[in-house]
A and B are shown apart, each in its own frame.
Chain A
Amino acid sequence: EDKVVQSPLSLVVHEGDTVTLNCSYEVTNFRSLLWYKQEKKAPTFLFMLTSSGIEKKSGRLSSILDKKELFSILNITATQTGDSAVYLCAVPIQGAQKLVFGQGTRLTINP
Chain B
Amino acid sequence: DAGVTQSPTHLIKTRGQQVTLRCSPKSGHDTVSWYQQALGQGPQFIFQYYEEEERQRGNFPDRFSGHQFPNYSSELNVNALLLGDSALYLCASSSRNSPLHFGNGTRLTVT
Query: Do A and B form a real pair?
Result: no
Chain A residues engaging chain B, CB cutoff 8 angstroms: none
